[in-house]
Amino acid sequence: MTEGQHEATRDLSEDDLKDIERKYDEGAATRTVAPGFTAFLRYVALAFAIYHYLTAGFALPPDFWHMGWHLSGLFILTYAFFPAFKTSIAFDLKTGWLRIGGVPIIDIIAMVLGVASALYLGLAWRGIPMLGIEEQTFRMGNPNTYDMVFGCILIVLVLDIARRTLGWVLPLIICLFMSYALFGPIFPGILQHPGVKFKTFVSSMYFPQEGIFGVTLWVVSTIVFHFVLFGVIAQRTGLGQLFIDNATILAGRYTGGPAKVSVVSSAFFGTISGSSVANTVSTGALTIPNMKRLGYPGHFAGGVEAAASAGGQITPPIMGAAAFIMAEFLEVPYTTIVIAAIFPALLHYVGVFAVVHLMARRLNLQGLAKDKLPQFAAVWRDGWANIVPLIGLLLVLFSGYTPFMSAFCGISLSLVAGMSRIKQPVTLIYAAAFIAFVVWKYMGGGFDLSMSLMLIAGSVIATFNPQDRITIPEMAVTFETGVKYALAVGAAAAAVGIVIGVINTTGVGFRIGFMVTQAATALGSDLHWLFTYGDWELFSTSDLTLFISLVFIALACILMGAGIPTTALYIMLVSVAQPALAQLGIPPIASHMFVLYYGVVAEITPPVCTSAYAASAIANSNPFRTGISAFTLGLGKVLAPMAFVYAPVLLFVSETGFDLWEFSYTATSCIIGVVSLSAAVVGYWLTPMGALSRWLLAIAGLVFIAPSLQADLVAAIIAAPVILSQVIARRHAASTAG
């Protein structure tokens, strides 16, 4: 079979797209269960979603109860939907005397034990005198038998649900951390420590503040789930389609139109979706076939979509779960993280856009015909109401209210836009309920007058939505989908809490961070002579130490990212990166963003690149070649972290301060560097370029990203021959054509 035959263009049905998402998205592939058990699970999922929705708007119960309820839902749904081992027939419906509703008895037992261990903490918090259980305060560090039994059950089952939803890699790494905590004396050198007693370890992992009931599970159960649910509802009500249509209007008619639509629509869609695979499937269903019809190779078309969609986790305002956890780690408002992410996200999309444009020029690919473009007036006449929930969410978020209150308002406005219609008075109950909530909050001092009036106005305006109304059963299915999307990230958050507990108990993060900086310092000293000539030096030892440390950490992120979700990877590696980079004088927000970005890069780095695999399934292309294309297209995201570590001003909110001139100069230098790299990747700028020119331009691009006038002058000297030859070749081609 030839490449052309293998990559034949095909249109995929909605069921085909769902199959692709189930295959490559950790939380989308679920087991088939019997109809009766399906109904029970539907009620559990709806209760789970409604509980979180209502507590976000009204009041959260105590943390140990709130996280206990969240874990209980995770255990029930994960053990029901995810088989113990993923084989070709594991997801089919099976019946027999060892199964209940198609679910094996052993999974039912694990489900019950999981719920019991999750809720025991709340039940025993104030003590249970009849069982001889004291208040939790008196048991910290000295757990009783009940604590030990339920604690051990919880640790084992949390690791198991992480394995079922995400595979073996994350649980195995967590087991390594656990071994380090328990068997500290056997480790060599600086890693050696006295070891943690088993009872102390279980107590640390089980009781709140650290371990499983720590910050990661709190953030996911209190904030992340709500934004996942908002993204799913907003997409269902039509916001995703509105983004795609407007991206097509903006970019479709230009050179390489469908590919630019992919970049723009993925950037738009990324504002409401923190999932790279969901982003890839949602926008790629339209853009990838269009790119192939235009003439792009299948692997390149898939790579464009994967690289653009991977930006969803770093695109404000709704980033991936790791961004919310970062806000908690740094103890800053989530809006600070959103502001810091603006330029790095822009730099990523500039890089992808530049490669797409230059490839289209090289292949002489034209844009879409005018009659193939959506009509601006028609798109906004039908879909204008779908933007109201996003505006409402952002207004609340940037007015200083909590992220979960902003998500509550966004979800509420999505329900109004989807289900209330002014011409159907009975359906106005949803709008009336939200307006009553806003009035209640205003009367209690929760909302100020201007915010209350804006939310009420948004609710009223949304009822004039001209699109077909979504029914209650349809919205219930949407809620269920949102819950299923949240299972994998919930399991990862609970499991990776064990890592945080080990780090806090043993101090291993500082130990490894010290090892990284020591190794980088030694290597930097050894290489320093290469960059000195007499008294003149291009790079100092401290410059080299910082650069080598960054390379070590970046490589660790990319290598460990093979099979580990971004959130878990970020939590594990930031514990190493933060101490190491802090010793080198890097502001905390820059070091945290550095780790987050390289965690996202792993999404499009072969051999394990789930976004690229999903895109290749739509493009019917070779998965590995698609992954390579996605990685080269995502070079902007690979290099952006280096830039904002060296120049924290690019993050706007760094503690080093903000200077407009410094930002403008540095940002321009970075953009030139990313565009230079893009031209080197494609082998085309004004005209095709040879291997030597591509290498020179790639080196110049790397040097441009180093934010200093000295580096920019060196980069300009390196790039000058290439630019000159390109201009001469362009003039020669123009004169020949004339």
How do residues 408-422 score in pLDDT, each as one tens digit?
999 999 999 999 999
| Dist CA 343 CA 315 (whole Å) | 10
Q: Which tokens in the block code for residue 534?
A: 């007499």
pLDDT surpassing 80 at residue 16: no
Within 10 Å of residue 136's Cβ, how many Cβ atoms? 18
pLDDT surpassing 70 at residue 550: yes
Chain segment 142-158, per-residue pLDDT in tens: 888 999 999 999 999 99
Report yes or no: 282 and 240 within 8 Å, Cβ to Cβ: yes
Helix (H, G, I), strand (E, B) or coil at 100: strand
* pLDDT band at residue 460 under the 50/70/90 scheme: very high
Backbone φ and ψ for 39, nearest 5 degrees, come out as -60, -40
User: What whole-number percentage of the chain has pLDDT above 90?
Assistant: 27
The winner for highest mean pLDDT among 352-356, 437-441, 495-499, 587-591 is 437-441
Q: Which tokens in the block code for residue 720?
A: 């000058």
Task: Identify the CA nearest to 640 among candidates 585, 723, 707.
Answer: 707
Task: Identify the CA nearest to 292 among candidates 263, 256, 240.
Answer: 256
The mean of the pLDDT values for the chain is 84
| Dist CA 70 CA 122 (whole Å) | 12
* pLDDT band at residue 492 under the 50/70/90 scheme: confident
Residue 184, CA distances (Å) to 179, 502, 503, 508, 513 in order = 8, 11, 12, 10, 17
The length of the chain in residues reads 738
Residue in this structure with the two tokens 């790299």, named with its chain if needed: 677
Task: Identify the CA nearest to 466 among candidates 233, 242, 286.
Answer: 242
Q: Which amino acid is at 473?
A: P
| Helix (H) and strand (E) counts in the chain | 34, 4
| Dist CA 95 CA 33 (whole Å) | 9
| Dist CA 692 CA 391 (whole Å) | 49
Task: Identify the CA nearest to 573 among candidates 553, 551, 597, 547.
Answer: 553
* pLDDT band at residue 586 under the 50/70/90 scheme: confident
pLDDT surpassing 80 at residue 273: no
| Dist CA 200 CA 182 (whole Å) | 10
Query: What pLDDT sits at residue 23?
Result: 61
Chain segment 44-96, per-residue pLDDT in tens: 999 999 999 999 999 889 988 999 999 999 999 999 998 888 776 666 777 77
Backbone φ and ψ for 579, nearest 5 degrees, come out as -60, -40
Q: Which tokens in the block code for residue 13?
A: 């049905």
Q: Which tokens in the block code for residue 181?
A: 């905590």
Which of 315-329, 475-489, 606-620, 640-654 shows the lowest mean pLDDT across its residues?
606-620
Query: What pLDDT sits at residue 50?
Result: 95
Helix (H, G, I), strand (E, B) or coil at 424: strand
Which of 104-118, 366-380, 401-415, 595-609 shows the lowest mean pLDDT across its residues?
595-609
Query: What pLDDT sits at residue 274?
Result: 57
Report yes or no: 626 and 612 within 8 Å, Cβ to Cβ: yes
Chain segment 377-393, per-residue pLDDT in tens: 888 999 899 999 999 99
Report yes or no: 324 and 403 within 8 Å, Cβ to Cβ: yes
Q: Which whole number is the average pLDDT over 543-547?
A: 83
Helices (H), 466-507: 472-506
Backbone φ/ψ region at 126: left (φ over 0), alpha (ψ -120 to 50), beta:
alpha
Task: Identify the CA nearest to 567 among candidates 587, 596, 524.
Answer: 596
Helix (H, G, I), strand (E, B) or coil at 631: helix
Residue in this structure with the two tokens 């404000």, named with its chain if needed: 316
Q: Quote the DSSP letter at residue 536.
A: E
Q: Which tokens in the block code for residue 15?
A: 């069921």
Angle, CA 483 vertex, CA 477 and CA 488 arms, to 5°: 140
| Dist CA 595 CA 641 (whole Å) | 8
Report yes or no: 192 and 515 within 8 Å, Cβ to Cβ: no
Within 10 Å of residue 258's Cβ, how many Cβ atoms? 28
Which of 1-5, 462-466, 558-562 shows the lowest mean pLDDT across its residues?
1-5
Task: Identify the CA nearest to 508 among candidates 178, 38, 143.
Answer: 178
| Dist CA 592 CA 327 (whole Å) | 10
Q: Which whole number is the average pLDDT over 114-138?
A: 90
Query: What pLDDT sits at residue 131?
Result: 85
Q: What share of the chain is helix, strand, coil (3-state, %, to 5)?
A: 75, 0, 25
| Dist CA 362 CA 637 (whole Å) | 23
Report yes or no: 140 and 155 within 8 Å, Cβ to Cβ: no
**Domain boundaries, given as residue ranges, for the chain:** 8-206, 218-473, 672-738
The winner for highest mean pLDDT among 272-286, 322-336, 457-471, 565-579 is 457-471
Helix (H, G, I), strand (E, B) or coil at 195: coil
Task: Identify the CA nearest to 362 among candidates 647, 706, 726, 738.
Answer: 726
Which of 212-216, 520-524, 538-542 shows the lowest mean pLDDT across its residues?
538-542
338/311: higher pLDDT: 338
Chain Cα centroid distance, residue 202? 30
Q: Which tokens in the block code for residue 593?
A: 């963003």
| Dist CA 673 CA 676 (whole Å) | 5
Backbone φ and ψ for 555, nearest 5 degrees, come out as -65, -40
Determine the straight-line distance between the first and last CA of the chain, rounded to whole angstroms: 42
| Dist CA 488 CA 161 (whole Å) | 8
Residue 544, CA distances (Å) to 412, 521, 538, 649, 698 in order = 52, 8, 10, 21, 20
Chain segment 187-222, per-residue pLDDT in tens: 888 888 888 999 989 988 887 777 899 888 998 899
Q: Which tokens in the block code for residue 46?
A: 């709806």
